[in-house]
Chain A
Amino acid sequence: MDTFILIEIVAKIVFVFAVCLGVVPLLVWFERRGSAWIQGRVGPNRVGPFGLIQPVADVAKFFFKEFWTPANANKWYYHLAPIFALVAPMAAMTIIPFGSHLVIGDYIINLQVARVDSGVLFILAFAGLEVYPIIIAGWSSNNKYSILGALRGASQIISYEISMGLALLSILLVYGTFDLHKMVEWQNQRFFGFLPAWGVLVNPIGALIFWVSTFAETNRLPFDLPEGDSEIVAGYHLEYGAMKFALFFMAEYVAMIMASALMCTLFFGGYNLLPGMHALVDLIVSVHGFAEAGRQNATAILQFLSFFLKVSFFMVVMIWVRWTLPRFRFDQVVNLGWKILFPLALCNVVIVSIVMYSMN
């Protein structure tokens, strides 16, 4: 293999994982400070400027805590679950395109770790994997609250996977491809000359269903029944302490990043420049006098920036919703999944396919 390609791949993997794991402490900080602001509190503000170092201090504390295993737990699965929880969403991050391409010399670097033709299937596979850590953790801990949490998690995630899959199907009919890169390129066109052709404008119901389902998939608050602090203590990760708990905790945030990135890629134009950023590109190019390659590189960097901003917006919305809505009752969750979202998603698929057929 060409050395340059090897370096390129390693650099991209390191970049994606570094950004991903680097955002987690910030997100934890924002979750805590943001909730404090919403509730008229102050939040952690002692460690570092504005309390920004607090999540790092928390993880340092987790590192030094006792590595404890319940006596009757199944050791192998008990230790496997937190690893699984973190790896599944991290692996799904590899196929999210975060920019078009960079040009360095003769090489063209696609800003996507793995260009998988069947990208959506890959994502579905890894989203489906997110249910396993919950089941494994709940079952292997040998605790009744854990198993209740695992049961809830399993039924909830499987119910919402159906409506999520149907929402994906409806948008796939519009794009006509499984490749996330091509989807983003499709969204680069414009309606009526000015409106960006984002998936959400083509298929708003699909976007809403997908967004609601991602909340259920990532176990965020209106659907955080597997954890359900007030009913089943901490649900599936009740028996986990120290760094094993921290892994679950980080996994929740990585899953949040993954879900937001996916929402952004599928429905909100992916890495396409935000409205008004084209002028910024022109300005940078004219100031520095870049050639074609320089223009492309400047565009790619701004594309990454706009992708980052869009994903940040969705993560903020996730936190915002968490501190707005109380937890649903379990029958309400299942009713919403099977009686409302599933028929709605099905109708949406039918309508979108009729419209697409009649337009071609």
Chain B
Amino acid sequence: MGTVNVSREYTLKEKIYVIALFQGMILTLKRFIDGFFFRKHYTIMYPEQKRNYSQNFRGMHFISVDENKTENCTACYLCQTVCPAECITIVAEERNPATNSYGVRKEKRPLSFDIEALKCCFCGFCEEACPMDAIKLSRNYELSVTSRQEAVYDLKHLKREVKGRG
């Protein structure tokens, strides 16, 4: 199979080129008038306007809380285990049985819960693995930070009182 040459003879109108040039100029003039007089544009003026992403968009994680503002997480390590990027680090602790009003429902609690957002690939496996619906992925995509350290989110950052998907 060699290269198949499909070139054709140009007509006189195409060869002169000036006609096509003026057609193009008129087209861009129309677009210019649209833009200049009628302010027609497809740009989303970002900080003021935001793109409406899908409900299924997977953004930054958060940890849901119950009615007492206590995190739902019981430090079962399932999310840390399933995480393909290994970005979740949990340190577990036992709740004080004397003051624990939840009983067997929340015997453990995370002492620290760190997510390194720079390592995260936003696959959502942690959300699927979680038996308590504690860790969830919000639709927040504005995650810029000024240093690597700031991209490590701890429990205080992640705990949010959010109904449904944030």
Contact = CB atoms under 8 A, between A and B. Distances in A.
B41 interface: yes
A37 B35 contact: yes
Given A324-B24, A325-B21, A34 B32 contact: yes
A326 to B, nearest CB: 10
B35 A320 contact: no
B28 interface: yes
Contacts, number: 42
Interface in A271-327: 320-321, 323-325
B35 A38 contact: yes
Nearest to A323: B28
A355 interface: no
Interface string A16-53: 00000000000000000010111111100000000000
A40 B32 contact: no
B31 A40 contact: yes
Contact of A41 (B24, B36, B43): B43
Residue in B28, B34, B41 with the greatest tally of chain A CB atoms within 10 Å? B28
Interface string B101-132: 00000000000000000000000000000000
Contacts of A41: 35, 41-43
B29 A36 contact: no
A38 B31 CA distance: 5
Interface in B12-47: 21, 24-25, 27-29, 31-32, 34-36, 40-43, 45
Nearest to A36: B35
B25 A40 contact: no
B42 A40 contact: yes
B24 to A, nearest CB: 5
Residue in B32, B41, B43, B45 with the greatest tally of chain A CB atoms within 10 Å? B32
Contacts of B24: 324-325
A320 B25 contact: yes
A323 B32 CA distance: 10
Nearest to B29: A320
A42 B43 contact: yes
A294 B27 CA distance: 46
A88 B162 CA distance: 66
Contacts of B43: 40-42
Given A36-B35, A37-B35, A37-B36, A42 B28 contact: no
Interface of B: 21, 24-25, 27-29, 31-32, 34-36, 40-43, 45
10 contacts: A37-B34, A37-B35, A38-B28, A39-B35, A40-B41, A41-B41, A42-B45, A320-B29, A324-B27, A324-B28
